C-alpha cells in the first residue's frame, strides 16, 4: 500500500523544490489552450443568444474536465498495466505538475521584493501577473493587500483542493479539478463577454471547492497556531467574515489569513475599468504592508504540510478500501 502513496508525497516535495520551470511544457497550459480553442469553436457553433451562450458554456464546462480526467487516466492505466514502477513514476510527475505551491510563493514574493525596494511601478507589473483586477493605479498598500489575498485564496485553489482530489482519485481526479478551476479563472467572469458563457463553469467551480475551501480554512487555523500567529482572532474573523465575498468559497481562507495577521483584506476593486463594490474581510488594526506577503506565504507552507498529512491518510484509506473491494 505504501508504494501507492509515493506519487502524491514525492510530487508534493518536487513542487516545493522545483516549482514550475517556465521552459517545461505544463498540462495546465494545455488545458488553458484547449479552453481557448473550445470557446472559439462553440461561439461559432452556437447562436449568440442567451440560450445559445448558456449551452456553449455548459458544453465547454463538461467536455474540458472530462478530457482532463480521461486522458491521464488512460495514460496511467497503460503505464500501470505495463510496469508498476512506470505507473508510479508517471503519476508522480503528474501530481507534481498539479500542485502550485512554490510558484505561488515565487510570484507573490516578486511583489514583496519590488515593494521592499520601493519600486511601485515594478510592484504593479508583478502583481498584474497574478490578479485579475486592474493594477495600474494601485498604491503600495493596495498592491500588498492584493498579493496577500492571492496567496490566501490560492492556498485552497492551488494547494489544498488539488491535494484532496488527488487523495480521493489520484492524478486523474487532480487534473479534473484543475480543469474546473482553470475554466473558472478563464471564463467565470461576470462581465458582458462571459456572464452567460461562463455561468456553468463558475457554478461548477463553486461546487468543487465547497468542501476544500472549508478544510483549507481549518488547516490554515492550525498553521496559524503552529506559527504562533493570532489564530484566535483568525477563528473570530473566519466565523464573522467567511461569506464576505461573491464566491461562497474565496473568503474562507482570506478570513482566516486576515484575522491571523490582524489586517483587513478585500474591499472595492476595479475590473476591466469598472468599479466593483466588495465587502471587507477582517479589521483594519494595522496597514497592510509588504511584510504581510511573507507572513501569508508562511501560512501557505505550513497549511500545505498539514494538508499533505491529511491527504496521505485519506489516500491510504481509499487504497485500503479498493483492496477490500477487489
- How far is the first Cα of the chain from the last one, in angstroms, to the nearest whole number? 14
CA angle 184, 187, 190 (to 5 degrees): 95
Residue 23 has a pLDDT of 66
Residue 222 has a pLDDT of 98
Q: 95 and 171 in contact (C-beta within 8 Å)? A: yes
Q: 206 and 247 in contact (C-beta within 8 Å)? A: yes
Q: Which grid coordinates belong to 136?
A: 495600474
Three-state secondary structure call for residue 249: coil
Q: 256 and 238 in contact (C-beta within 8 Å)? A: yes
Residue 323 has a pLDDT of 67
Rounded-to-integer distance, Cα 94 and Cα 176, Å: 12
Give me the average pLDDT of each 10-residue run along the chain (326 residues).
89 93 80 96 93 96 98 96 95 96 95 93 91 83 94 95 97 97 90 89 96 97 97 96 89 96 86 77 92 97 98 94 62
Rounded-to-integer distance, Cα 138 and Cα 155, Å: 23
Residues 6+ apart with CB under 8 A from 89: 79
The distance from CA 201 to its chain's CA centroid, rounded to whole angstroms, is 15
The distance from CA 159 to its chain's CA centroid, rounded to whole angstroms, is 6
Rounded-to-integer distance, Cα 326 and Cα 310, Å: 25
Q: Dihedral sign for Cα 122, 182, 33, 49, please.
A: negative
Q: Of 107, 134, 137, whose CA–CA distance to 191 is shortest?
A: 134
Amino acid at each position: 500500500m505504501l508504494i501507492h502513496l509515493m506519487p502524491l508525497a514525492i510530487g508534493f516535495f518536487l513542487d516545493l523544490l522545483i516549482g514550475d520551470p517556465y521552459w517545461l511544457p505544463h498540462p495546465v497550459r494545455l488545458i488553458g489552450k484547449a479552453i481557448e480553442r473550445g470557446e472559439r469553436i462553440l461561439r461559432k457553433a452556437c447562436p449568440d443568444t442567451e440560450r445559445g451562450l448558456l449551452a456553449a458554456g455548459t458544453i465547454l464546462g463538461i467536455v474540458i474536465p472530462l478530457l482532463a480526467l480521461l486522458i491521464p487516466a488512460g495514460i496511467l492505466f497503460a503505464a500501470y498495466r505495463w510496469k508498476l514502477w512506470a505507473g508510479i513514476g508517471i503519476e508522480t510527475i503528474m501530481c507534481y505538475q498539479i500542485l502550485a505551491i512554490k510558484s505561488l510563493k515565487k510570484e507573490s514574493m516578486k511583489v514583496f521584493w519590488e515593494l521592499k525596494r520601493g519600486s511601485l511601478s515594478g510592484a504593479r507589473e508583478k502583481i498584474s501577473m497574478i490578479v485579475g483586477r486592474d493594477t495600474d493605479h494601485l498604491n503600495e498598500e493596495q498592491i500588498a493587500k492584493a498579493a496577500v489575498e492571492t496567496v490566501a485564496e490560492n492556498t485552497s485553489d492551488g494547494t489544498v483542493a488539488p491535494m484532496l482530489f488527488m487523495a480521493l482519485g489520484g492524478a486523474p481526479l487532480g487534473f479534473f479539478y484543475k480543469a474546473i478551476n482553470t475554466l473558472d479563472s478563464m471564463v467565470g467572469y461576470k462581465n458582458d463577454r462571459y456572464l452567460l458563457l461562463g455561468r456553468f463553469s463558475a457554478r461548477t467551480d463553486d461546487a468543487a471547492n465547497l468542501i476544500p475551501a472549508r478544510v483549507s480554512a481549518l488547516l490554515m487555523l492550525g498553521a496559524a497556531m503552529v506559527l504562533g500567529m493570532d489564530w484566535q482572532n483568525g477563528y473570530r474573523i473566519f466565523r464573522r467574515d467567511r461569506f464576505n465575498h461573491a464566491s461562497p468559497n474565496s473568503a474562507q481562507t482570506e478570513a482566516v489569513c486576515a484575522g491571523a495577521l490582524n489586517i483587513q483584506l478585500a474591499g472595492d476593486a476595479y475590473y476591466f475599468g469598472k468599479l466593483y463594490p466588495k465587502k471587507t474581510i477582517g479589521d483594519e488594526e494595522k496597514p497592510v504592508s509588504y511584510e504581510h506577503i511573507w507572513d501569508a506565504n508562511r501560512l501557505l507552507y505550513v497549511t500545505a504540510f498539514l494538508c499533505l498529512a491529511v491527504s496521505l491518510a485519506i489516500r491510504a484509506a481509499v487504497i485500503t478500501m479498493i483492496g477490500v473491494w477487489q
